[in-house]
Structure 1
Amino acid sequence: MSAQPQTTYIHGSHESVLRSHKWRTVANSAAYLIPHLKPGLKVLDVGCGPGTISVDIASYVPGGHVTGLEYDPAIVEHARAHAAERGAADVAFVQGDAHALPFADSTFDVVHAHQVLQHIAEPVRALREMRRVARPGGVVAAREADWAAFTWFPDTPGLGEWHALAQRVNRAYGGEPHAGRRVKAWARAAGFDAARISCSAATWCFSTPEEREWWGGRMAERIATAGFTKGAVELGASAEDLERLSQAWRTWIQEEDGWFVLLHGEIICQV
């Protein structure tokens, strides 16, 4: 096997990042997967982060089992703590890399990844691994944002600059910010039959005062304190630039007509 590719999550593991990830559930982040979740299934959640989706999936597969895999061992501990708080005995979390999953062939009925492929060095390799550990008759599912399709109102000064810089940072770390439109192509390159790939799309929309405060506040914090900062500075951004972009988000939060939408591409691949 070739050398292990580098995996770098540009947003890091700052508390502002974890708070946004903890908001994610099956209903708001993986609704397209619900028809494929049945009692008794074994599920792998690749790149599970703090484990909220993994634990929620368990409620859809009573009598089954969910394994969450996360690259950062510190985040694995967050996920285990969340499962313990929820009393989820049928969920386990392990440290590992999506490029080389530490499981035997044909282990899981469902293999799922949410917002993972856009951040890793070799998304096709990861999908091959997801296919390998899925049993015949099972499914591989992935949902990825497409940054070029993000849209917002009003055109608050600084948000366009933030949007362009964030995409440059993602690519500098080897990621692909336009992953949503590529998931089908990546799946085909990974060996899935095009006739057995189902595609869909979904959005997150933040518009109420509470939603603007939550989303805009997380974005403002990420710019100022998360792992994103290092990449932005390496690309030439100054501390003053980052503070200005962070302030742009705080300004947007106060806009009564404020509206931000993220588009996601989704695939269900029959194995």
Structure 2
Amino acid sequence: MPEQATYTHGHHASVVNSHARRTAKNSAAFLIPHIKPHYRILDVGCGPGSITIDLAQLVPQGSVIGIDAVEDVLSQARELARARFGAVGNVTFQQHDANELPFSDGEFDVVYCHQVLQHVHDPVAILKEMARVTRKGGLVAAREVDYGSLSWYPELPGLDKWEDIHMKVMKLNGAHPKAGRYLKAWAREIGFAPGDITFTWDSWNYQDGDAAIWAQSWSERALRSSYATTSLDTGIATQEDLDYVSDTWRKWGEIEGALIIIPNGEILCRVKEE
């Protein structure tokens, strides 16, 4: 069945540019030690491809396929790959719905998704598809934010307003804003045994310049991304609310010592060898 949930953030430049700053080091460190140079990897929901391309550089004798549901963002990923690799590389990008992966059973050594399961209607079904196309002995890996566990300083009231709107929009869209804490339970639901699941907890820790970049991104996203349009269209927020949130993020990013901690749940699931 095609995806039923609505992607909360959309693909405004403020969103895609933020996602393009992600790397394998800051977003897939838990997976990197398990990757071998000959591996075939599938990156589900790859977005602008920055993590995907990093993974491809870790498998010089292997290959990586990045998939996403939106062709526009895949075009950006292909441009980035050309800039990194030139005309030849071991990474390709394809448009697919993760609910129905067009790959054979056991085709990949590693199937990975980053900040995808929080945005889909049925994360368990997506994980099941990911496991299906992973070889026996291979790894299913996922990393998801838990928006119910964010911490920031200073604690400006406008950021509480931002969080309230964000949680309401995600739930309205059929998404799972606390996905990080549910990853292990979802993996158990599709049949992974406890001994085959490694659950870890990591975070993005944005301070100083990184905090300012995050703040600038959300100052713009609060007014122009799908977060904004959905908020207004559904009555979750008014334009005055969004102006307040945007202005708060801008001011917060200018405060010396500002920081935000964004926790992420992580799972590595080993497909049982029979």
Q: TM-score, normalised by structure 2?
A: 0.96
The one-letter amino acid paired with 1:21 is H
> 2:228 corresponds to which residue?
229
Aligned counterparts of 1:16 and 1:66: Cα–Cα separation in 2: 26
> 2:258 corresponds to which residue?
258
Equivalences for residues 58-97 of structure 1 within 5 A: 58-87=56-85, 89-97=89-97
Aligned counterparts of 2:255 and 2:50: Cα–Cα separation in 1: 30
Equivalences for residues 195-206 of structure 1 within 5 A: 195-206=195-206
> 2:210 corresponds to which residue?
211
Instruction: Structure 1: give runs of 5+ residues left out of the alignment.
Output: none
| Structure 1 residues 91-122: Cα deviation after superposition (integer angstroms, max 9, x where no partner) | 00000111111111110000000000000111
Specify the SS of the correspondent of 1:191: coil
Is the Cα–Cα contact under 8 Å of residues 18 and 50 in structure 1 kept in the other structure? yes
Aligned counterparts of 1:125 and 1:66: Cα–Cα separation in 2: 22
Aligned counterparts of 2:69 and 2:150: Cα–Cα separation in 1: 27
Aligned counterparts of 2:192 and 2:235: Cα–Cα separation in 1: 37
Instruction: Structure 2: give runs of 5+ residues left out of the alignment.
Output: none
Aligned counterparts of 1:235 and 1:173: Cα–Cα separation in 2: 14
For these two proteins, the number of residue pairs brought into alignment is 268
| Structure 1 residues 49-105: Cα deviation after superposition (integer angstroms, max 9, x where no partner) | 000100000111111000001011111111111111111610000001111111111
- Alpha-carbon RMSD across the aligned residues, in angstroms, is 1.0
Query: 1:213 Cα shift?
Result: 1.8
Equivalences for residues 85-124 of structure 1 within 5 A: 85-87=83-85, 89-124=89-124
Specify the SS of the correspondent of 1:160: helix
> 2:4 corresponds to which residue?
6
> 2:219 corresponds to which residue?
220
> 1:37 corresponds to which residue?
35
The one-letter amino acid paired with 1:232 is S
Specify the SS of the correspondent of 1:130: helix
Name the % identity.
43
Is the Cα–Cα contact under 8 Å of residues 172 and 231 in structure 1 kept in the other structure? no
Query: 1:227 Cα shift?
Result: 1.0
Is the Cα–Cα contact under 8 Å of residues 169 and 235 in structure 1 kept in the other structure? no
The one-letter amino acid paired with 1:238 is T
Query: 1:236 Cα shift?
Result: 3.0
Specify the SS of the correspondent of 2:261: strand
Is the Cα–Cα contact under 8 Å of residues 216 and 249 in structure 1 kept in the other structure? yes
Q: TM-score, normalised by structure 1?
A: 0.97
| Structure 1 residues 10-35: Cα deviation after superposition (integer angstroms, max 9, x where no partner) | 11111111111111111000000011
